[in-house]
Structure 1
Amino acid sequence: MREPDHRAVAVVFAVVGATFGGLSARIPWIQHNLELSTGELGLALLFSPVGAFVAMPTAGRIAHRLGGRRTTRLLLVLSCAAPLPVVLAPSLPWLAAVFFLEGVITGMCDIGMNAQGVVVERRLRRPIMSGLHGMWSVGCLAGAGIGALAAQAGVTAPAHLGLVAAAYMPVGVALTRALPATWGSRGEAAPPRFAVPPRKVLLVGLVGFCAVFAEGAGNHWAAVYVTDVTAAGPGVAAAAYAVFAMAMALARLAGDGVVRRFGPVASVRAGAVLAAVGLVTVAVARTPVPAIGGFALLGTGIAVIVPLVVTAAGNAASTTGQGVAGAAGMTYLSYLLAPAVTGWLADLTSLPVAFGLIACVTAALVPFARLLRAAAGHGGPADGAHDSPGSSGMAKVA
């Protein structure tokens, strides 16, 4: 049974995911409203992860001043409101500017809620991070579904997002009262204004970089791949992404039990193998069904890796926020690079070849998984294989 702080941080993840999903569902409305080309829209969208990447290191200092609970509450409220300026932007330059601001807010909120998750997981001494990320995925799917219904009913994006923000904010604020007051329980000192993350965090972030690169293949290219390579129609192409997203959400919700039983290292290795098999299946598929099955395997395999990276990084640094921010910065860098690099590889060769190469990157996670063991500096075994099968204990890196 979840304790109050566990429930509270789970709701924060779900609300942030629902906000993101709602905005994502209204991107076509923004494009039509501003009469943007695909290239112009892509340029504007790029400013959101850039804003997040730039702002992430500042979240730790804000939390040190205000406390983790107040910081997370403030960032949650701002995150709920952030989509409104985006859909009210009157032109492309304004759209790019407000996407940058939205990225700043959501990037810092991402650090805040993940740091809270690390603190609660550390106190409970059992894995919860995969389930928290699963709640984000569930929220994202629900928010996107509400957005799709609103669009179908002819509700404008400002009206839709204004109403859901008004609904999400009080729920989030009320439940954040149960969050820990600080991000750490070890008397953490103020993080520096800017510092290169410790070597352990950089190594753990490398695992996240590879995982997010593979995840980006599903997020950004599933529908395109099924359309261009297997000649599927728009409905089947949309289903390819939906299956990928649903597989990832379900695997994350079930992932904590897997990590508890087998440990972080074995879980990452098994997930990497499953994801690589999925990518190879996609690369050789020339009809929709096996391609969609491959994306389902990819989503299932990659699901628990980023949550484990966040936990490991938060425990590897001297301050929780610094560790989470360091790893998150590397994953956001991968998020920035993955779509463009995949497209570049596809232009040079083909989409199947590009997916085959990404499968090689994903397979590299098998030896890299041991880096999560190196981050286990807080007591307990680094891999569940050293526990009894029914043990409720866990390595603090996961």
Structure 2
Amino acid sequence: MEDVSRPAGEVRRARYAVAAVFAVHGAVTGSFATRVPWIQDHAGLSAGQLGFALAFTALGASCAMPLAGRISHRFGSRTALRGLLALWTLSLVLPSLAPNLLTLCLGMFAYGAASGMADVVMNALGVEIERLLGKSIMSGLHGMWSTGALIGSAAGTLAAHLGSDARLHHLLAAAVLTVLGLLACAWVLDVQPAEDEEPPPRFALPPRSALLIGAVGFCAVFAEGASLDWSAVFLRDRLEGSPGLAA
């Protein structure tokens, strides 16, 4: 990337902006997780079919994440994040629109792909801000993601308690979060590649040194995904909780 000095005020604004991006990204996840039981009922799926469809989220993310670096290289970090974050917020509507297993699998693949690509670019910007500030801020940024997830899930809990249609809920949430995301992206760093910098490869095997930390990350995300995707279904089906309580 092009290594240029930046005014302290610009870096501070960029830090707050990318923190807001993390919160928006988390709010999408929270909004989705609370309505998984509704999505299951709407598509008429068994528990096994739902699990199969949910797996397409990870598949979409795994396939699309390697493309994020090239997109950022081609358009610059600000434009790339603006587009990818909008794709992620708008993809929230896809799962609730799916009437059957096939369409839900396709919707979850697109949902995961958009999530993964936006995630890569916003974390890369977080690392760049850390470099400019000379101190660690990633834990705070991930804390903002969790804050956004809590806010999104709180809104989803209210929607579920009121018995609202998840299609309407997710349409409204996607519209609000898209606007907030675009506003935040206006202030993130615009990192441009150097003129002679080669674009990153479409795919590269990780170094052996990354395998151990990758395994730790796999275990953490596996547990997180299982609890996130299945808690509301378990509370409703096994503990006979109300939709609002399950959410």
User: TM-score scaled by structure 1?
Assistant: 0.53
Cα distance in 2, alignment partners of residues 224 and 161 from structure 1:
18
Change in CA separation of 1:72 and 1:35 when aligned onto 2, cut-off 3 Å: same
5 Å-filtered alignment, 1:1-398, equals 3-182=12-191, 189-213=198-222, 215=224, 219=228
Assess if the C-alpha contact under 8 Å between 2:33 and 2:228 holds in 1.
no
1:4-58: per-residue Cα shift (whole Å, max 9, x none)? 1111111111001101110111111111112211111111111111110111111
The answer to which structure, 1 or 2, has the higher relative contact order (CA under 8 A, 6+ apart) is 2
Cα distance in 1, alignment partners of residues 150 and 89 from structure 2:
16
Q: Which amino acid aligns with 1:15?
A: V
Please list every run of at least 4 consecutive aligned residues from structure 1 whose deviation after the TM superposition is greater than 4 angstroms: 213-226, 232-235
Assess if the C-alpha contact under 8 Å between 2:39 and 2:96 holds in 1.
yes
Q: Which amino acid aligns with 2:90?
A: A
Cα distance in 1, alignment partners of residues 101 and 222 from structure 2:
28
- Alpha-carbon RMSD across the aligned residues, in angstroms, is 3.1
SS at match of 2:73: helix
Change in CA separation of 1:9 and 1:184 when aligned onto 2, cut-off 3 Å: farther
Change in CA separation of 1:97 and 1:211 when aligned onto 2, cut-off 3 Å: closer
Q: Which amino acid aligns with 1:62?
A: I
Q: Which amino acid aligns with 1:91?
A: N
1:200 deviates by: 3.5
Cα distance in 1, alignment partners of residues 40 and 231 from structure 2:
21
Cα distance in 2, alignment partners of residues 37 and 213 from structure 1:
21
Deviates more, 1:201-210 or 1:28-37: 201-210
Cα distance in 2, alignment partners of residues 205 and 34 from structure 1:
34
Q: Which runs of 5+ in 2 are unaligned?
A: 1-8
1:203 deviates by: 4.4
- Per the alignment, residue 245 of structure 1 pairs with none
1:210 deviates by: 4.3
Total equivalences in the alignment: 234
SS at match of 1:58: helix
- Per the alignment, residue 370 of structure 1 pairs with none
Q: Which runs of 5+ in 1 are unaligned?
A: 227-231, 243-398
Q: Which amino acid aligns with 1:172?
A: G
1:240-287: per-residue Cα shift (whole Å, max 9, x none)? x99xxxxxxxxxxxxxxxxxxxxxxxxxxxxxxxxxxxxxxxxxxxxx
